Amino acid sequence: MTQYIFPAPVQPSVAIHESDQRFPVRRIFCVGKNYADHVREMGGDPKSDPPFFFSKAADALVADGATIPYPQMTTNFHHEAELVVAIGKGGVEIAAADAMDHVWGYATGNDLTRRDLQSDAKNAGRPWDMSKGFDNAAVCGAILPLAQCSGVDAAQIRAVVNGAATQDSTTGEMIWSVPEIIAYLSRFVTLAAGDLIFTGTPDGVGPLVSGDSCTVEINGLPSVTVTIA
């Protein structure tokens, strides 16, 4: 047995809906700009560019019902409502036609973002890690096994802040479908069981401040709520 110099880090994991078992998380990938309404409002052609990816650390996961601190180093902290894909079977260069065989289930997520740092990074041509990969930045609700999911590819997706909807769209507005995302992403990296993919957010992103409660809802999936301390 391996002898570590201090106790090994705890394995990050996500609850499975109505189960005592948990989904162990390896890596968290995220898709940028994946909703047509948002790209169109910015004057772009939704399918003109292939999807692009960034990541969050698995230890940034936050569960439903958590209270998290307002993050340091920002004055413009945003929510992003997203459908999350839980990968149950790994692979590389997965064909889109086979991609759903690799999906274990779906969850609702909130891709928390330090928007000011992201804008600075975009302007300077620098990486997004510190705007996307900070502590408590990966909010993910309980995972619903794929067999219990229906209509997820055309479901209402909303962010609700203190009871008022700020984002209200449908996953049918996604430019790149879940199979297409898996196919693209697995050309760059080998996916493995335990990976999560945040699939992008519709228009209407906006700020969260101390005391706010933010719920992400996707029809047919458990919702996820966080409160900002």
Which residue, judged by CB position, is nearest to Mn ion in the bound state? 111
Q: Which is nearer to Mn ion, 80 or 173 (CB)?
A: 80
Instruction: Candidates 35-43, 104-112, 153-161, 214-222: pick the segment binding Mn ion (CB under 5 A).
Output: 104-112
Instruction: Candidates 18-26, 101-109, 193-201, 218-226: pick the segment binding Mn ion (CB under 5 A).
Output: 193-201
* DSSP3 helix / strand / coil % (the chain, rounded to 5): 20, 35, 40
Instruction: Candidates 45-53, 176-184, 196-204, 212-220: pick the segment binding Mn ion (CB under 5 A).
Output: 196-204
DSSP secondary structure, 120-164, as one string = HHHHHT--SHHHHSSTT-EEE-PBEEGGG--SGGG-EEEEEETTE
Q: Which is nearer to Mn ion, 16 or 34 (CB)?
A: 34
| Binding test (CB under 5 A) with Mn ion, winner from 78, 104, 111, 118 | 111
Q: Which is nearer to Mn ion, 131 or 201 (CB)?
A: 201
The answer to whether 80 and 58 have CB atoms below 8 angstroms apart is: no
Q: Which is nearer to Mn ion, 16 or 160 (CB)?
A: 160
Q: Closest Cα to residue 51, out of 179, 194, 205, 191? A: 179
The answer to whether 198 and 102 have CB atoms below 8 angstroms apart is: no
Nearest-approach distance from CB 66 to Mn ion, in angstroms: 19
**Subset of 60-99 contacting Mn ion (CB under 5 A):** 80
Q: According to the binding rule CB under 5 A, does residue 201 interact with Mn ion? A: yes
Structure tokens at 36: 């047509």
Q: Where would I find the H helices in the chain?
A: 36-41, 115-124, 129-132, 178-188
Q: Which is nearer to Mn ion, 16 or 158 (CB)?
A: 158
Catalog residues that contact Mn ion under the rule CB under 5 A: 80, 111, 201
